[in-house]
Structure 1
Amino acid sequence: MSNLGVTQRPSSTVSSSTPQMETARELKAKAKFVFPLGFPATPEAAAARIIKNLSHLGLFYMLVLWVGLSISLVPERKFSLLLLMAMTIIANQYLIMVRLMPNSICGNKAVDKMLVLVPVAIVTIVGLILTRAAIHLFATLGIGIPVILVHAVLWRDSGFVNEEVSASDSAPGELAPLVDNV
């Protein structure tokens, strides 16, 4: 009933050639699957990949450490957890203020973000040590940092974002297809 009174016209252009259907074996031979993890070729490539991934994914790495520390503080160190939350709110408020007012003195090049975020991190670490949560902090850092470094070494960013112009189906800067047709 939804197409009552609707008629479809045949196409006015007639295709003279019929497309050939490729077999599954031919498609499998053409397809190259992209996997986001891979070993770097040299130690220099590993160091470059770590630096690039820490700059691109640093916020996510910090979030993983923050969640791990928060979870470890929940059962027995409630005051330390409150201190961690307060310092996180202060840092977030500063970052929001910098984003909202880019022409102010806080967003100017004279006051860099690191000039504020490093003291906030130091105060947080000292506060956690003084509230007897140092074992939680060091255990979280001891477990989290090696996992983050392994991820930073193995993560290949080029699998999903097309950074160069090539014969692929996507434009530069767009998401690349999961299967490359070679």
Structure 2
Amino acid sequence: MAGSPKGKRVNPYSHSNDSQLLKRRLAVLQMRTEGMSFRAIAAVLGVSYNTVRNDEKWALDEYQMPAVDEYRRKVIADAEAQLARLHQMLKKPQYVVSSKGTYVLGPDDKPIEDPKYRNDIENSIMKLRDQLIRMLGANAPAQTEITVEHVDSTDLEIRRLIEEQNRRNAESLDQVKANQDPSA
């Protein structure tokens, strides 16, 4: 990295002030909301492309605030609009065109659909769905609640006695039922 001693790695996320990092991440979201690309934001902020991508990811994952929610809503709305356009495009087939500018016909004398066109649209749809999943938090790991109980030898002995008594009660109940049943 420029400016760092040879052989020493510099962590771009180690800041003397966390508020600087928060401000930069919020600035990234604001510029993305305005339609700027990652590369353009990197140039404005004087950081790398990957830093901008990571700042966006961390802001979305870590911060619960109106600016982040606004950005998330905009990205979701844009992705849903793009999905609608892509689904409309899938309804209109594109045909293979020869170098002469005419449609290539199949054995049934009908134009041959261009499989690359459909595949490209389906790939775009998958990417947008992945983006929606991230924005909606559907890819977040499920939270699990763990309860830890301290169990000592007395607790284990009580549990054993309860199980033994339950077994005896079940045997006694079976005997009472057998004595009441005249067919037995």
Query: Same fold by TM-score, threshold 0.5 exceeded?
Result: no
Q: TM-score, normalised by structure 2?
A: 0.22
TM-score for both structures, normalised by structure 1: 0.23
Structure with higher helix content: 2
Q: Which has the higher contact order (CA 8 A, sep 6+)?
A: 1
Look at both structures and tell me which one has the larger radius of gyration over its CA atoms: 2
